[in-house]
Amino acid sequence: MATANTLSMSTLFPPQLTNKVFQLTRGKSVLDKLSSAEPIPFTGSQEFTFSLDNEIDVVAENGQKSAGGASIAAVKTIPIKVEYGMRVSDEFLNAAEEARINYLEPAVEGFAKKLARGRDIMAIYGVNPRTGSASTVIGTNNFLAKVSQAVTQANGETADALIERGIAQVQAGEGDVDGIALGNSLRADLAALTTSGGAKMYPDLAWGGTPDSINGQRVAAGPTVEYDATTKLCGIVGNFGDAYRWGYAKDISMEVIPYGDPDNTGVDLKGSNQVYLRFEAYIGWAILDPSQFCLIKRA
């Protein structure tokens, strides 16, 4: 059996492992829950935003027609490479195929969860999830950098009133709102609201509940929305279905490395009876129209 090759899950291991990576991520990313994924080629994909600039014109019989005008812009989604690696005992190489599968299942599941969490952190904050620092690869392709509309919670303002103001901001520019990304603290604030009679205003949010929709709006909640507390961000409202795109390149690779020091720890694999498993994926996203979103912030 080869020990130093890049092993494709689709050839060496059963196909369900490749599918499982993305199947497991569903519901574990706030943005994923509010939007659908589309495959992206390695060279990237390009979408065009098109708008008619003026209103329709009433023209009298034999009257002159005026210019309406149109705007068109290109937005390109370029997948970026992300990786996760771990050292395991070299017994992995000598195990039967069934045993290797059992060894890999928790690793694949863990990678899926990290991939889902990382997608949110990168797309919302523009940082490298491992270091927490701004990523030059991501640049301004993130909600904090691209979305200029924001509402900040006023003293004594309730969570639902704050969200309502954010929705109003988007709608004031004739945008559509089809989803709300909630940080866990904002979700908890909504869950705590009661009517004058003491009944829960949003009972589906009680005890950590995360319903698919509230008041007709799709909802997703999770800690990634509030990843960086210094930004005061606690939610995002907007048109996630039309104005935000994300996807992944088709091939996901797993490399088994039996020699050297691939994680730069100073410990040689062969000398320590270890091998290194490295997972890689290519994912991309694009905010097609930042005006269709509003950031919700704490004071």
Q: Is residue 144 part of a domain?
A: yes
Q: Is residue 249 part of a domain?
A: yes
Q: Is residue 56 part of a domain?
A: no
Say whether pLDDT at 267 is over 80: yes
Q: Is residue 57 part of a domain?
A: no
Please indicate whether residue 156 or residue 86 has the higher confidence score (pLDDT).
Answer: 156
Q: Is residue 262 part of a domain?
A: yes
| Domain count for the chain | 1
Tally of CA atoms within 13 A in the half-sphere of 218 that contains its CB:
16
CA 215, chain centre distance (Å): 23
Domain enclosing residue 157, as ranges:
6-48+74-297
In the predicted model, what is the mean pLDDT of residues 237-253? 84
User: Going by C-beta distance under 8 Å and a sequence separation of 6 or more, which residues neighbour residue 292?
Assistant: 170, 175, 176, 238, 239, 242, 243
Domain with 178 in it: what CATH number? 3.90.1690
Please indicate whether residue 92 or residue 272 has the higher confidence score (pLDDT).
Answer: 272
What does the pLDDT read at residue 243?
Answer: 93
User: Going by C-beta distance under 8 Å and a sequence separation of 6 or more, which residues neighbour residue 141?
Assistant: 123, 126, 285, 286, 287
In the predicted model, what is the mean pLDDT of residues 138-151? 97
Most confident of the ranges 6-15, 48-57, 101-110, 155-164? 155-164
Q: State the chain's mean pLDDT as an integer.
A: 83
What does the pLDDT read at residue 26?
Answer: 40
What residues does 297 pair with on adjacent strands? Answer: 152, 233
In the predicted model, what is the mean pLDDT of residues 44-67? 66
